Amino acid sequence: MKRKLTLKLIAKELDVSISTVSKALRDSAEISEDTRQKIKAFAKLYNYKPNNIALSLKNRKTRTIGIIIPQIVHHFFTTVIRGIEQMAREHNYNVIITLSNNDFDKEVLNMELLANGSTDGFIISLAKETLQKDDFRHLTEAIDQGMPVVMFDRIVDEIPCDKVMIDDREGAKMGVRHLLKTGCRKIAIITTEDYVTVGKLRTKGYVEALESFGVKVNKDLILRLDNIDHCENECTAKIKHFLKGKDIDGIFTVNELFAVSAAKFLTEQGKKVPDDVSIVSFSDGELSKHFIPTLTTVSQHGELMGRKAAELLINKLERPEDEIEEYTTAYIDTTLIERDSTNKIKK
Amino acid sequence: MKRKLTLKLIAKELDVSISTVSKALRDSAEISEDTRQKIKAFAKLYNYKPNNIALSLKNRKTRTIGIIIPQIVHHFFTTVIRGIEQMAREHNYNVIITLSNNDFDKEVLNMELLANGSTDGFIISLAKETLQKDDFRHLTEAIDQGMPVVMFDRIVDEIPCDKVMIDDREGAKMGVRHLLKTGCRKIAIITTEDYVTVGKLRTKGYVEALESFGVKVNKDLILRLDNIDHCENECTAKIKHFLKGKDIDGIFTVNELFAVSAAKFLTEQGKKVPDDVSIVSFSDGELSKHFIPTLTTVSQHGELMGRKAAELLINKLERPEDEIEEYTTAYIDTTLIERDSTNKIKK
DNA sequence: TATTAAGATTACAACGTTTTCGTAGCAAAA
DNA sequence: TTTTGCTACGAAAACGTTGTAATCTTAATA
């Protein structure tokens, strides 16, 4: 097992000092052409690469971005990560990903771990438990210590940092308006409890869309579910119970899974999608594309979101020391993707 | 922006030496009870945490595992990562994930980057391009430099390192035998070109299953597709062309997407799944669970795979210096998950 | 010949730790 | 009084870099 090549090793081998080697490799004019060539040739031959850890220690910079997200199995997060990855690479940053599993303690632990020198800044989507607890000390502490933080998706307004959000309200509005345009008037929504920001905003968009068409909001057509992640069966049951015998012609859901559950139940009940009931879902993922019928969705562009988040963070990391703090909140637009779960728009 | 607390700062503040602080915090018996208490109280109050980078440099260990995978959007990789994550956390290791995008150069680049001190070892699933190029110098170099490597899923036999594999042959065999047991005899397979190891092995399992039932293998019932990732439309077209007018009663596919495409086409053609044609797919993912009908699949247990890979790597990392090299290849068993795309087994 | 300037190289500190070794101070033993 | 042994602490090196300041050579100038 060969030891990794270091400046010291090269220096000893070529009988010069460490400084000379370092300077030669960085093309310093201080070093004579001769020596420089010799050293560079040697380094190349033995494939010398500077040790990142040593550089990080010296520069007090790691060029590493820490990502903290609740779950990686969600297709949406996966696309966001890809966006972050891209932008990071373009600017020569590394990326460390850690998972909170929606657990408050794990989120705090992960942050502390990464904050101890491993990363220069964070991109984070909060754990559900953190939102419920309403405890954000780990975030404010990191920020106080000069670690830039960018929040995305699951954010909280009070924290002073850059934020990237889907325009959930506008997106939901667009989706529901699409249902309205195709002629639906009795539109139900399957959403989450209000403490999940995105659920709240999407519900708001739903209401606004209805109002813009002069349709009265009917509380009986709103279903709020808890605990999206661990409940598949429970949620499905509640959805069935909710839909049973309801007189509706459209459903808007805040995620794919709810849409799929609803569609399956309707089919079981002998109703046709989209002819009897049309469906639009938030979050464009794999399911929507391959379900029968394919689902009309409000697409979130996670990749763009990731890119934007990374861009904001890198900006902060590379801004001059003395620049005044200033926080941006960026909104990523959504797009309506028409598929087979809705009818054509009526002229 | 407060500067992070260091031993030096504490030392100055309490008017003792750096060594004293370090020792006190590590509960060394050399330090008097008094001083120790005082220092620990101070450190706790100001939330001192040792700097990881400095520790890494000192110990020449980072306690970080590097993961290099082709794509994160694949549900399977996502579950593997979760497994690795779990095991890593249990042993106090960190995890860095990088993506190769199935690109050879990017894979090499990523490895070099991480090999320069950022990680103690690698868990890798090779990029498709790497397999095609048949160039593994980046791997052997890393291994030569004493970096343990664990390969999973997409592996290559010649490299001397630990490996974790799905038992693809056995899994496919089980899947196809299930079709046979339910009465199918004219079974097609939709697989990949042979340079993808897993495709090759699964095809082999298919053949063996048929033979074990005394069914003759018919080359016309084998479809080999290229380039799974970027071809959705193209693959779908080829699948349609392949199935058109074929007299079959069962299909085995090496991934979900192929199964879904096939099922959709069959339905279009007025054939019923599973009554006219039964379907079994490798890789149990989100699609299989929610497709109509739900798909019978050979589940890969990605999480287990990740755990095993991490376990092997950590073993290597923590083995005593002088232990002899010895490489393990672990096989992760597959499970058949019966759903609605196959009939009940005939007695 | 003595001085200076330039060119080429090296020494050293620093980043934040841990750890080995050394040494004050002091009490007990000789 | 001198020696020994212990306690409690500090100095310094090391990990691998980089950049500043110092030093050494050599050639040109006065």
Q: At what angle do helices A52-59 and B52-59 cross, to 10 degrees?
A: 140
> How confident is the model over A93-105, as a mean pLDDT?
87
Q: At what angle do helices A256-268 and A232-243 cross, to 10 degrees?
A: 50
With CB atoms and an 8 Å threshold, state whether A291 touches B292. yes
CB-to-strand C under 7 Å, chain A 39-98: 54, 57-58, 60
With CB atoms and an 8 Å threshold, state whether A117 touches B54. yes
Other C-beta atoms within 10 Å of B264: how many?
18
Say which of A78, A94, A118 has its CB closest to residue B113. Answer: A94
Judge contact between A201 and A169, C-beta under 8 A.
Answer: yes
> How confident is the model over A149-163, as a mean pLDDT?
94
Q: Does residue B285 or residue B162 have the better pLDDT?
A: B162
| pLDDT for residue A269 | 93
Which of B7, B9, B52, B325 would you mutate first to test chain A, the one with the most A CBs within 10 A? B52
Burial class of residue A45, CB neighbours in 10 A (0-12, 13-18, 19+): exposed
What are the C-alpha distances in Å from A198 to residues A99, A163, A283? 20, 14, 11
> How confident is the model over A24-30, as a mean pLDDT?
93
Q: What is the mean pLDDT of chain A?
A: 92
With CB atoms and an 8 Å threshold, state whether A146 touches B51. no
Nearest nucleotide over every DNA/RNA strand to the A11 CA, judged by C1': C10
Question: Residue A261 phi/psi, 5° resolution?
Answer: -60, -45
Give me the percent of chain B exceeding a pLDDT of 70: 97
B34 touches strand D (CB under 7 A): yes
> How confident is the model over B252-279, as a mean pLDDT?
94
Q: What is the dihedral of CA B102, B108, B113, B117, to 10 degrees?
A: 120
Measured CA to CA, the distance from residue B247 to residue B255 in angstroms comes to: 22
Question: Residue B105 phi/psi, 5° resolution?
Answer: -60, -40
- The angle at the Cα of B180, spanning B177 to B186, to the nearest 5 degrees, equals 125
What's the first-to-final CA gap in chain B, in angstroms?
74
With CB atoms and an 8 Å threshold, state whether A53 touches B98. no
H or E element at residue A10: helix A7-14
- CA-nearest of B72, B79, B80 to A78 is B72
| pLDDT for residue B194 | 87
Measured CA to CA, the distance from residue A238 to residue A242 in angstroms comes to: 6
CB-to-strand D under 7 Å, chain A 52-91: 54-55, 57-58
- CA-nearest of B312, B325, B321, B320 to B122 is B312
pTM: 0.86
| pLDDT for residue A10 | 96
Using a CB-CB cut-off of 8 Å, the residues of chain B touching A50 are: 116
Q: Residue A319 corresponds to which amino acid?
A: R
Burial class of residue B42, CB neighbours in 10 A (0-12, 13-18, 19+): middle
CA of A16 to C1' of D17 (A): 16
Using a CB-CB cut-off of 8 Å, the residues of chain A touching B292 are: 264, 267, 291-292
Nearest nucleotide over every DNA/RNA strand to the B17 CA, judged by C1': D10
> How confident is the model over B109-131, as a mean pLDDT?
91
| pLDDT for residue A72 | 79
H or E element at residue A68: strand A64-69
- The angle at the Cα of B271, spanning B268 to B274, to the nearest 5 degrees, equals 120
Say which of A97, A267, A287 has its CB closest to residue B290. Answer: A287
Q: Which residues pair with A224 in a beta bridge?
A: A191
Residue A5, chain B, CB below 8 Å: the answer is: no
Judge contact between A132 and A152, C-beta under 8 A.
Answer: no
Measured CA to CA, the distance from residue A73 to residue A93 in angstroms comes to: 24
Q: Furthest-apart CA pair in chain B: how many Å? A: 88
User: Is the per-residue pLDDT at B118 higher than 80?
Assistant: yes
- Most confident option among A1-10, A202-211, B324-333: A202-211
Enumerate residues 6+ apart whose C-beta is below 8 A from B238: B223, B225
Compare all CA atoms of chain A with the CA of B61 and give the residue at the minimum distance.
A53
User: Is the per-residue pLDDT at A229 higher than 90?
Assistant: no
B58 touches strand D (CB under 7 A): yes
CA of B32, closest CA in chain A: separation in Å?
A: 28
Which of A290, A317, A323 would you mutate first to test chain B, the one with the most B CBs within 10 A? A290
CA of B334 to C1' of C1 (A): 92
Task: Indicate the SS3 state at residue A67.
Answer: strand
- Interface A–B counts its CB contacts (< 8 A) at 120
With CB atoms and an 8 Å threshold, state whether A73 touches B53. no
| pLDDT for residue B227 | 64
With CB atoms and an 8 Å threshold, state whether B49 touches A116. yes
CA of B9 to C1' of C14 (A): 15
Look at A65-69, A109-113, B244-248 and tell me which has the smallest mean pLDDT: A109-113
Judge contact between B280 and B337, C-beta under 8 A.
Answer: no
Determine the distance from the C-alpha atom of residue B239 to the mean position of all C-alpha atoms in its chain, rounded to a whole number. Answer: 27
Measured CA to CA, the distance from residue A74 to residue A83 in angstroms comes to: 15
Using a CB-CB cut-off of 8 Å, the residues of chain B touching A295 are: none
CA atoms within 13 A on the CB side of B175: 40
- CA-nearest of A65, A87, A66 to A302 is A87
| pLDDT for residue A347 | 66
With CB atoms and an 8 Å threshold, state whether B291 touches A292. yes
- Assign B114 a pLDDT band (cuts: 50, 70, 90): confident
- The angle at the Cα of B300, spanning B298 to B301, to the nearest 5 degrees, equals 130
Judge contact between B14 and B41, C-beta under 8 A.
Answer: no
Q: Does residue B51 or residue B194 have the better pLDDT?
A: B51
User: Is the per-residue pLDDT at A187 higher than 90?
Assistant: yes
CA of B111, closest CA in chain A: separation in Å?
A: 12
Long-range own/partner contacts, residues A88-92 (CB < 8 A, 24 or more apart) = A88/A310, A88/A314, A91/A310, A91/A314, A92/A63
What are the C-alpha distances in Å from B213 to residues A55, A237, B51, B200, B276? 63, 42, 63, 21, 21
Question: Residue A280 phi/psi, 5° resolution?
Answer: -130, 135
| pLDDT for residue A143 | 92
Measured CA to CA, the distance from residue B261 to residue A293 in angstroms comes to: 13
**What would the pLDDT profile of B198-235 be if each residue is shown by its tens digit?**
899 999 999 999 999 999 999 999 999 986 656 678 88
> How confident is the model over A112-138, as a mean pLDDT?
92
With CB atoms and an 8 Å threshold, state whether A146 touches B82. no
Measured CA to CA, the distance from residue B18 to residue B8 in angstroms comes to: 6
B52 touches strand C (CB under 7 A): no
B25 touches strand D (CB under 7 A): no
- Assign B75 a pLDDT band (cuts: 50, 70, 90): confident
Measured CA to CA, the distance from residue A164 to residue A300 in angstroms comes to: 12
CA of A236, closest CA in chain B: separation in Å?
A: 12
Task: Indicate the SS3 state at residue B298.
Answer: strand
CA atoms within 13 A on the CB side of A150: 26
| pLDDT for residue B84 | 96
Kindly list the strands in the beta sheet with B296-299, ordered across the sheet, starting from the edge strand earlier in the chain. Answer: B222-225, B187-192, B250-253, B278-282, B296-299, B335-337
Tokens of A256: 């794919």
Q: Which residues pair with A336 in a beta bridge?
A: A298
User: Is the per-residue pLDDT at B347 higher than 90?
Assistant: no
User: Is the per-residue pLDDT at A273 higher than 70?
Assistant: yes
3-class secondary structure per residue, A305-339: HHHHHHHHHHHHHHCCCCCCCCCCEEEECCEEECC
| pLDDT for residue B234 | 85
Say which of A4, A96, A264 has its CB closest to residue B145. Answer: A4
Say which of A51, A287, A292 has its CB closest to residue B286. Answer: A287
